[in-house]
Amino acid sequence: MAKLNILEFPDPRLRTVAKPIEKVDSTIVKYAEDMLETMYDAPGIGLAATQVNIHLRLIVLDVSDQKNDPIFLVNPVITRAEGEIESSEGCLSIPGYSEPISRYETIEYEAIDLNGNQKKDVANGLLAICIQHEMDHLQGKLMVDRISSTKRQLIRKRLLKKQNQRA
């Protein structure tokens, strides 16, 4: 496995809409494994392929306390959603920031697993929030799109300044 580079806001590549995966093959499995290693190392609880400059509909998640229950979702689709929950969300592509974001509390979703099998499931609470957050990435959306433009511009300026200092 290999650790991948996580793109940081305001990198324009984060705005790319991911393409559907036509077939789960060894390349997709390798991407998923590398993404999982990258997510754990960051550390985070979810990572979309878009965040590592792979513009395919693939996300990895692990909201378990022991970080031993990874979930791999290929071409995820939310089929039903209900309730509302607000929580403080952070993002590996927006390091050092968290903001209150409203999401659906419960979702039903469909996806393909790494064996190529179709799956349907229900997610609540943190897992539901995480899936929605990562699916936003696949659409080229970021959590900063869900906050005020003033806050978004402030975060953008601060991150650009940090990025320029590292360069």
Whether 105 sits among the annotated catalytic residues: the reply is no
- The pLDDT value recorded for residue 166 is 84
pTM for the predicted model, two decimal places = 0.95
Residue 164 neighbours by CB under 8 Å, 6+ apart = none
**Tokens coding 63:** 């909201």
Task: Give 109-155 pLDDT, tens digit per residue.
Answer: 999 999 999 999 999 999 999 999 999 999 999 999 999 999 999 99
Distance CA(103)–CA(84), nearest Å, equals 6
Measured distance between the N- and C-terminal CA atoms of the chain, rounded to whole angstroms: 27
What tens digit of pLDDT does each residue of 40-79 get? 999 999 999 999 999 999 999 999 999 999 999 999 999 9
Measured distance CA(132)–CA(73) in Å, rounded: 12
For 20-90, where are the alpha helices, taking DSSP H only? 26-41
Report pLDDT for 27.
Answer: 98
